[in-house]
Amino acid sequence: MGYAAGSLGAVSTSTDGSATSTDPPDAIVRTDDAKALPRHLLSAGDLDRAGALRILDTASRLDQAIAGREVRKLPTLRGRTVVNLFYEDSTRTRISFELAAKRLSADVINFSAKGSSVSKGESLKDTALTLQAMGADAVVCRHPSSGAPARLSSWVDGHVINAGDGTHEHPTQALLDAYTLRRHLAPGGSLEGRRVVIVGDVLHSRVARSNVLLLSTLGVEVTLVAPPTLLPVGVRTWPVQVTYDLDSALVGADAVMMLRVQRERMGGAFFPTEREYARSYGLDSRRAGLLARYGIVLHPGPMNRGMEITPQVADGAGSVIVEQVANGVTVRMAVLYLLLTGGLGDGA
Ligand code: NCD
């Protein structure tokens, strides 16, 4: 399957659905100027600490700039075209990118594989060349194959943003998560030394991979908790702690990030029953109470309520799940702004 993917190795899945191997690591391209951002945002590993903080700080400024306005729009990207190229179902990510681009006054084209020439067999490359001919300044790409946005970036002149590729990465999700963590745990400051627990289907999660890369860049101590069957081959080489015991990992932690159990990517049985999974790896009120007093609960959505998280916790006081959605728009505005303008103007 798929295209060459990067750093933490996306899962290759055999026809029976079991994980077979990880893809070889790609070199992460960094520029000499620590503050420079990459041309494309394909992996959270493309960002060094200064680059990541620049995006988070720009998002805060954009948030402030828009907060007081009657018309919640800035003229910054007027005349630019952003194409949302979605080969996989998505609600919040596509709408989030669309809103972000519109709030910066860009023209937005939503292109979904369903109902397009893709269903007539058009290849990703031909689609890319068509978008190129139409003058897309940025292409936001979601694709079921790991590495597809990276391939796309070699065919178009515009900036490519990975909006989730297979089991590989979802860098803007990690950025919005970091933005949310920072707002609650270290307003305007550093997340260095904070402790975040990521729980669940790590094997199939591009959200987990991007978060591990970004949070470790930001100095966060990450603990992964999952049943052994839902941990990728090679996880012991990641810059994280790994445990199977959720309760002990949660004690005193600053935040917990629950992952969706990705049934659509599971061919075989990865755990005995849903009840059994919920009992060992689900977040209920008792477990949420083990976090630090100010501890927060994150979930990228969509949630399987009653499986990885109980409704009481999802809707409870420590939950920032709805806020994550709002922060997603702000952070994606920052990414579009910085990539498309080079961040030279003050835009906000
Ligand atoms: C995530 C995704 O698509 O990777 N969702 C999202 O972007 N909001 C997580 C998931 O689907 O579990």
Query: Is the beta carbon of 206 within 6 A of some atom in ligand 1?
Result: yes
What are the structure tokens assigned to 310, written together?
A: 């109980």
pLDDT of residue 280: 96
CA distance 112 to 89: 9
The C-alpha atoms of residue 25 and residue 287 are separated, in whole angstroms, by 36
Q: Is 92 in the pocket of ligand 1 (CB under 6 A)?
A: yes
144 within ligand 1 shell (Cβ under 6 A): no
The verdict on the CB of residue 265 being under 6 Å from ligand 1 is: no
Ligand 1 in reach of 227 Cβ (< 6 A): no
Verify whether ligand 1 is closer than 6 Å to residue 61 (CB atom): no
Asked whether residue 71 carries a pLDDT value surpassing 90, the answer given is no
Range in 22-36, 80-94, 101-115 with the lowest mean pLDDT:
22-36
| Distance in Å, CA 237 to ligand 1 centroid | 24
In this predicted structure, what is the pLDDT of residue 4? 43
Architecture label for domain 171-325: 3-Layer(aba) Sandwich (3.40)
Number of the ligand 1 atom closest to the C-alpha atom of 300: 8
Chain centroid, CA 31 distance in Å:
22
Interatomic CA distance for residues 197 and 293, integer angstroms: 15
The residues that bridge with 185 in the sheet, in sequence order, are none
Phi (first) and psi of residue 304, to 5 degrees: -95, 90
How much is the pLDDT for 295?
A: 98
- State the pLDDT at residue 2: 43
Chain Cα centroid distance, residue 315: 22
Output the residue whose Cα is nearest ligand 1's atom 12.
Answer: 260
- Residue 77, helix vs strand vs coil: coil
pLDDT for the residue 246: 98
324-329 LR contacts (CB < 8 Å, sep 24+): 324/176, 324/177, 324/180, 324/298, 324/299, 324/300, 325/92, 325/96, 325/301, 327/59, 327/176, 327/179, 327/180, 327/183, 328/92, 328/93, 328/96, 328/172, 328/173, 328/176, 329/96, 329/99, 329/100, 329/103
pLDDT digits (tens, 9 = 90+) for 296-347: 999 999 999 999 999 999 999 999 999 999 999 999 999 999 999 986 333 3
Span from the CA of 219 to the centroid of ligand 1 (angstroms): 24
Check if 168 has its Cβ closer than 6 Å to any atom of ligand 1: no
Q: Is residue 205 scored above 50 in pLDDT?
A: yes
Q: Dihedrals φ, ψ of 142, to 5°? A: -115, 135
What's 25-169+327-340's CATH class?
alpha beta
Closest ligand 1 atom to the C-alpha of 88? 3
Return the higher-pLDDT residue of 54 and 2: 54
Q: Where are the domains of the chain?
A: 25-169+327-340, 171-325
Using CA atoms, how far apart are residues 114 and 86, in angstroms rounded to an integer?
A: 9
Q: Do domains 25-169+327-340 and 171-325 have the same CATH topology?
A: yes
pLDDT per residue as tens digits for the range 269-288: 888 888 999 999 999 999 99
